Amino acid sequence: MEHLWAPWRLEYMKSADTQDECLFCAAAANPDDPARLVVHLGSHAVALLNKFPYASGHFMVAPVRHVGDYEELTDEEVLELHRFASAGMGGLAELYAPQGYNLGWNLGRIAGAGVVDHVHLHVVPRWAGDTNFMPVLADVKILPEHLEETRQKLRVAWPT
């Protein structure tokens, strides 16, 4: 389990490096595009599913503003980021009843960030024994249909 936050998948990091657009800015600008995997958009923050999740329901929360420095987050952004993390966990609790969560900020490439210039918080639901059927180091196959289904469910379950 000590590896959970370090080894972001190589493919993901490669693709993040070669993309012209920022995936978080694109998500905030196109919240209704299923490909962006947005589950909730607010004034200061956006919540979206991770395209390469460690577990079902793995989502991320990012400020709407394109900002790469954690210390530059405004009070309004910090508040909504954490409110969205909390709300998303509320939705996941209703949908999948996780037994725990890992929340983490990967700041900088050395810390495993796939996107380094737009800070984001990962929320990964955990279940006892989950690494047995979905090893965090394995090349997990996630079907797009599965992600879209999770997205729809989480949008509905998002606490208001």
Residues interacting with Zn ion, by CB under 5 A? 22, 24-25, 66, 118
Q: Which residue is nearest to Zn ion (CB)?
A: 22
> Which of 14, 64, 57 shows the shortest CA–CA distance to 37?
57
Choosing from 40, 58, 118, 120, the catalytic residue is: 120
Element (H, E) at 105: strand 100-105
Look up residue 68 and give its two tokens: 């790469």
Nearest CB to Zn ion, comparing residues 55 and 115: 115
The CB-of-105 to Zn ion minimum distance in angstroms stands at 15
Q: How far is the CB of 114 from Zn ion (least distance, A)?
A: 13
Q: How far is the CB of 61 from Zn ion (least distance, A)?
A: 13
Of residues 22 and 116, the one with the C-beta less far from Zn ion: 22
> CA 95 to CA 122: how far, in whole Å?
18
Angle (nearest 5°) at CA 33 between 42 and 14: 95
| Residues 81 and 61: beta-carbon distance below 8 Å | yes
Q: How far is the CB of 71 from Zn ion (least distance, A)?
A: 17
Residue 22 or 157: which CB sits closer to Zn ion?
22
Give alpha helix (H) positions in 19-143.
23-29, 75-96, 130-133
69/139 with CB nearer Zn ion: 69
Helices (H), 34-120: 75-96
**Active site includes 120?**
yes
Cα-to-chain-centroid distance, residue 35: 14
Q: Which residues are catalytic?
A: 120
